[in-house]
Amino acid sequence: MKITPSARVLSMLGEIDFDEWQCVAELVDNPFDDFLDILRSGTEWPGGFTVSVTLPSSPKGVLEVRDTGRGMSYDRLARAVRAGWSGNDMHDKLGLFGMGFNISTARLGRRTRVLTTRAGDTEWIGVEIDLDQIKDDFEAKDITEPKSDPSQHGTRIIVDRLHRTRAEWLRRNGASLRNTLGSVYSWILAEHPFDLYVGGTRVKPVRHCRWGDDRYVLYNGKERIPAYIEIDEKLQDGTACRDCGEWQIGSGEVCSVCGSGNLTVRERRIHGWLGVQRYLDKTEYGIDFLRNGRKILRWDKQLFTWNNPEGREGDEEVPEYPVELAHQGGRLIGEIHLDHIPVTYQKDAFEYGDRQLARGRRVAAGGSTAPAQTRSGLPGERQPAGPAVQGLPPQ
């Protein structure tokens, strides 16, 4: 029997909870993936790597995301806009989920046009996805546009008939959107020659304001603790499925989840840094955890809490952070790259059931599993989770 879903499914994707900045980020991830592939191939790219986001100027305006990537063939385009399909490697790419494009565009507006062209093509080719017109056969209209210059290349995504509340947010919050994207993509924008423009203004990477590498304090009068600590731990390589992304336990020849034989041995590495911010803040402190250069968790503070491993009923998390600073705010910060750990479809959290995430946090915490302060009713003396907590230098 055929179980092709109703076309109403596409409209229902717009009900999935994505913030406006997440919708835009989904449309930025794919060109960044393309740019990274170009860099890895060593191909010269004289036109530069640019993604431009045009914001609506009115509630009836349009959102357009344009890039200078390689463009797509007709077949590639047809697969790229198909709900549930992803041609991306589950471990190397930012755009991990085939639903991301469909969710973000349906969340933003009722009609989406995608136009793409490669250098040497004679025209732009594309597709128009109109949620008010598409039927259960899922046939979308092919569209074309002439090219003024055959050397043009890239892709354009134009979303119109925007939902009023989201159009208003995008129209009024260009600066906020730039700041958020500048934080989420700060590592990518700082480490690669990529340019991202939102509303005609270049997005600048939002980097942490930390003390320099040469600053330190003496703990107990003898142990030198720097204000900047690099982390680089190579884990044992693991076998992963290239189709579903699942890491394998054991040495079978097919994936234990999807049955695919498309397995590969991949590096697993935890790297980054921990440091001390130059100022105290009530909320903006904590650790950023990244996957493939994009921040998944920002200002995460789980590193500064401890749970009783006995798991007794009524036990609460114990603050790891120095008690005397709790009312002033915090200033321990860092960036930890966990490229081998799966993330949720919204890309705002890691899969918390994955044991590798707990290990990544332990490495960032200095390997300790004990909290910074003793707690009544729990046995034993407990040491701080990491040297930065012990030797937090004076402001």
pLDDT digits (tens, 9 = 90+) for 147-202: 989 999 999 999 999 999 999 999 999 999 999 999 999 999 999 999 999 999 99
- According to the model, what pLDDT value does residue 247 have? 74
From the list 262, 232, 226, 228, the residue with the least C-alpha distance to 244 is 262
**Residue 127 near residue 113, CB atoms below 8 Å:** yes
Give φ, ψ of 162 to 5 degrees: -65, 150
Distances (CA, A) of 172 to 59, 160, 384: 10, 17, 45
From the list 111, 129, 107, 131, the residue with the least C-alpha distance to 20 is 107
Q: How far apart are CA 358 and CA 181, in angstroms?
A: 27
Confidence of residue 56 (pLDDT cuts 50, 70, 90): very high
DSSP one-letter string for 237-250: EEEEETTT-PBPSS
H or E element that contains 157: strand 154-162
Q: How far apart are CA 104 and CA 85, in angstroms?
A: 15
Please tell me what DSSP assigns to residue 58: S
Quick check: 216 pLDDT over 90? no
| pLDDT 10s digits, 288-320 | 999 999 999 999 988 777 665 555 555 556 666
Q: How far apart are CA 256 and CA 43, in angstroms?
A: 37
Per the model's pLDDT, the better-predicted residue between 96 and 64 turns out to be 64
Please tell me what DSSP assigns to residue 60: T
What residues does 330 pair with on adjacent strands?
Answer: 281
**Residue 275 near residue 387, CB atoms below 8 Å:** no
Quick check: 145 pLDDT over 70? yes
- The answer to pTM > 0.75 is yes
From the list 174, 187, 210, 170, the residue with the least C-alpha distance to 296 is 187
| pLDDT 10s digits, 104-139 | 999 999 999 999 999 999 999 999 999 998 887 778
| pLDDT 10s digits, 333-389 | 999 999 888 888 788 888 766 566 666 766 766 644 344 443 333 333 333 335 555
- According to the model, what pLDDT value does residue 326 have? 57
Residue 271: exposed, middle, or buried by beta-carbon count in 10 A (0-12, 13-18, 19+)? Answer: middle
- According to the model, what pLDDT value does residue 375 have? 37
From the list 253, 256, 301, 291, the residue with the least C-alpha distance to 270 is 291
- According to the model, what pLDDT value does residue 345 have? 79
Confidence of residue 90 (pLDDT cuts 50, 70, 90): low
